[in-house]
Structure 1
Amino acid sequence: MFLDLLNNIAITTAFLFVAGKAFQNRPLNEDNTYKTKLMLGVGGGILGTLLMLNSIHPNETVIVDLRHLAMVLAGVFGGPLSAILSAVVIGVMRIGLYGISTASLVACAVTILSGVIMGLLSLIRLPKTLYRYLLLNAFGMLAFAATLFYLLKDTGLTTLVLSYFIPFAIGGNIFTYFLAETLKKANQNHRDIKYYKLLAENSSDLISTHFLDGRFKYVSPSSKAILGYEPDELIGKNPYDFYHWEDLERITDSHNTVKESSEESVVEYRFRKKDGSYVWLETTSKRMTDLGIEKNELICSSRDVDLRKDLESDLIEKNNRLKRLSNMDGLTEIFNRRYFDSMLEEEWAKAIHHKTPLTLIMFDIDYFKFYNDTYGHQQGDECIKEIANVGKTVLNRPHDLIARYGGEEFAVILPDTKENGALKVAEAIRKSVQVLAIPHVNSKVKPIVTVSVGVAVVEPTEDMNHLQLVVDADEALYTAKKNGRNQVHLYNDTDQSERVQGEETSVR
């Protein structure tokens, strides 16, 4: 008996594996073509016939077979047409193998009728596929029991046969379900792999998988178009050998993030092409898990962003140029008042943080109104430009800044500069302007252009306001002008008290 049962299991298993291979590239569902349904029906009929030929012999008087399981499979996967066709094949083969007799005709008729009813039952939508197997199997067992009782007309013998048949039928049904579903899932996985491989191989992006140490395991064909390498030229290689050295730290951080967590990471970097040039890639990486892989791997999708990086660089350059232009004075090409205000705030905050002194120098051209009246505004503009150039020349530290404060007035910010250094810079500006010897016949100081310079130095604290430094420098400039012009004056506490309310009535 057990050998017979194993024989039936072996036949069913072999048949299902052959069928699974035959339908590996096509899903079996209600959308099956008529050709597929016919193939399933004929296949079910052949399986049923083989099961019928290899009956199970529990004892010398009892013979049972599991032919109805073939109709169950045909009904589940192919629907009514497949179930009916398999039943017809089994019924006809019953007569063909055992001859025409009452038992053969009855068995044939019942088998075909069962196939019809199983086909109709297969149309019922149930929440789980297992329930469809059980429903069709239950009807098959019922039909077999009714046929057996009709043919034997012996309740005792019928009961004896069913006591063997029912457990075999239920066990065979469950075995068939799990085997068929396993093959179905395997085929679906096979189709998914082919589908995603097709996507990868036809994607314009570069799809790659990597061992955890980064080595290429799979590379899609787009590597040829993007990098110039055939996939085989990269597989097994370490991509770190191709990265631009300036991007290594950023790439390593991304690599470690993906290795140590399930999060994905996006990174931009340069990759050396086969011709030696570099291409900008944007790569999204993620760790592959739960795939039955012995060691987790990484999957990466990389796209060529060279054009985007060029556009970004061009846009950044244009923005920087625009920013520079918006911060520059159009006449003198030094920084304007707006930029001066923002940088004074910034340097003030830095001085507070580092506890360093901050110097502000303000200077303007003596009797500039008289200069304009004498030489004209165009020549006045030229004079202002020459004074601005002098200021730029005198300053020699990267963080020192000169700006046109307004009209003929200029402001200089000197970070981390004490009084001695501030006075040296201020005096250098005054002397350099005098050395230019720009004629100014109506000046009340000298017959050349001169400047008056005010200096204020402070070590800022949190409770101070940066605008006070501007006030102090302006007071020092006022004092320099009051004391005769063409001189440098360092702000002290008496400057403000000495400034009369009417201020200077003469034209600066």
Structure 2
Amino acid sequence: MDKTIALEELQLHLDFFKKMYQVVRIVDPTTKKVLNYNDKSIEYTDGICYSYWENDSMCENCVSMRAFFSKDTVYKLEYLSDKVYMITAIPIRSTDGLVILELLKDVTHTMLIDTEDNEKAHNIKSYISNMNDMVVKDPLTGLYNRRFIDERLPVDIIQSLLNEKPLSIIMTDIDQFKAINDELGHIEGDSKIKQYGEILKSSIRLENDWVARYGGDEFLICLNNTDNDTAYSIAERIRKKIERDMSLNKHGNINITGSFGICTMYKEEMTAEDMMKTADNNLFIAKEKGKNIVIR
């Protein structure tokens, strides 16, 4: 259900919001830009939304992206400089599309937090971090989950277009995973999924790229500023490492390998669904051609 509000409605209440909240701002969740609202119009600024939290990169659990996709109000806790903030993200309809109103309120004292107690403050910060991780992390592998893919991949696509840099994704899964489960059991099967994910994560640039568990034994790797040839080389390196390092259970005789499908976009408009469909089709071809190969 669409629960957005119109920009004109926002104008009526903006001054009131500023009396209630420490920070009132409008952001474009897809570009991460902070926007100015003047005389019924919105203008882009050079401000980046996540810099407020003293971050050098996008927030993992982006509250504005969640509000953007759900078209509903979303809440989140954040911690900064010994203070706890409640963020309310409200989707706003404008002539330029959907933007997000972010309302930041200091709730430190209402939560009975003693900021002079360093141990308690550290525990609160860890609790908030763990709580935010639960939204976007897969509990088995510790990697990002499908929700993170849905929220983050569209942002990376837009950044790719704006910066005119290539973006590649790799879809991969474990070959004959059902047979592995049948042969070794589900506990060992889960162990193999976890090991597979660890190899994927150790094979990318964590400051630029990310990997998520798409579902079951299937994973998605996102490689920013990476052309098709480089993505192919990375996938080949991972494929060989999996073939070499994923040891067999002493009770099993199944060779554990992985197949890979790649999609690269550069200066062309592809949606997240387009990219995933292309990569998944290439993964299917890899399976048809005998598995344990990379198709691009």
Normalised to the residue count of structure 1, the TM-score between the two structures is 0.34
Show the 5 A alignment for 1:103-502.
307-308=114-115, 315-439=124-248, 447-461=254-268, 463-490=269-296
The structure that is helix-richer by fraction is 1
Q: Within 2, Cα distance between the matches of 1:438 and 1:313? A: 39
1:326 is displaced (CA, Å) by: 2.0
Q: Within 2, Cα distance between the matches of 1:383 and 1:466? A: 28
1:307 is displaced (CA, Å) by: 3.7
- The superposition leaves residues 102-155 of structure 1 with CA deviations (integer Å, 9 ceiling, x where unpaired) of xxxxxxxxxxxxxxxxxxxxxxxxxxxxxxxxxxxxxxxxxxxxxxxxxxxxxx
Q: Within 2, Cα distance between the matches of 1:333 and 1:412? A: 14
1:455, 1:473 within 8 Å by CA — same for their partners in 2?
A: yes
Secondary structure in structure 2 of the residue aligned to 1:332: coil
Secondary structure in structure 1 of the residue aligned to 2:134: helix
- The superposition leaves residues 341-387 of structure 1 with CA deviations (integer Å, 9 ceiling, x where unpaired) of 21111111111111111101000011110111111111100111111
Q: Within 2, Cα distance between the matches of 1:324 and 1:344? A: 17
Q: Which runs of 5+ in 1 are unaligned?
A: 1-269, 271-278, 281-304, 491-508
Q: Within 2, Cα distance between the matches of 1:309 and 1:479? A: 59
1:481 is displaced (CA, Å) by: 0.7
Q: Within 2, Cα distance between the matches of 1:427 and 1:449? A: 15
Q: Within 1, Cα distance between the matches of 2:133 and 2:226? A: 26
Q: Which runs of 5+ in 2 are unaligned?
A: 1-80, 84-108
Instruction: Look at both structures and tell me which one has the larger radius of gyration over its CA atoms.
Output: 1
2:195, 2:246 within 8 Å by CA — same for their partners in 1?
A: no
CA RMSD of aligned residues (A): 3.0
Code of the aligned partner of 1:428: R
Q: Within 1, Cα distance between the matches of 2:114 and 2:215? A: 43
Relative to structure 1, the CA distance from residue 424 to residue 314 in structure 2 (aligned partners, 3 Å threshold; closer, same or farther) is same
2:154, 2:271 within 8 Å by CA — same for their partners in 1?
A: no
The higher relative CO (CA closer than 8 Å, separation ≥ 6) is in 2
Relative to structure 1, the CA distance from residue 314 to residue 440 in structure 2 (aligned partners, 3 Å threshold; closer, same or farther) is closer
Code of the aligned partner of 2:266: E
Secondary structure in structure 2 of the residue aligned to 1:356: coil
Relative to structure 1, the CA distance from residue 374 to residue 421 in structure 2 (aligned partners, 3 Å threshold; closer, same or farther) is same
Aligned residues: 186
- The superposition leaves residues 269-314 of structure 1 with CA deviations (integer Å, 9 ceiling, x where unpaired) of x9xxxxxxxx99xxxxxxxxxxxxxxxxxxxxxxxx9944767775
Code of the aligned partner of 1:467: E
Code of the aligned partner of 1:471: K
Relative to structure 1, the CA distance from residue 318 to residue 416 in structure 2 (aligned partners, 3 Å threshold; closer, same or farther) is same
Code of the aligned partner of 2:167: L
1:358, 1:459 within 8 Å by CA — same for their partners in 2?
A: yes
1:395 is displaced (CA, Å) by: 1.0
1:430, 1:486 within 8 Å by CA — same for their partners in 2?
A: yes
Q: Within 2, Cα distance between the matches of 1:456 and 1:464? A: 10
Q: Give 1:101's aligned residue.
A: none
1:333 is displaced (CA, Å) by: 1.1
1:419 is displaced (CA, Å) by: 1.1
Q: Within 2, Cα distance between the matches of 1:464 and 1:378? A: 38
1:467 is displaced (CA, Å) by: 1.3
1:315 is displaced (CA, Å) by: 4.2
Percent of aligned pairs sharing the same letter: 30
2:211, 2:221 within 8 Å by CA — same for their partners in 1?
A: yes
Secondary structure in structure 1 of the residue aligned to 2:168: strand
2:180, 2:254 within 8 Å by CA — same for their partners in 1?
A: no
Q: Within 2, Cα distance between the matches of 1:423 and 1:358? A: 12
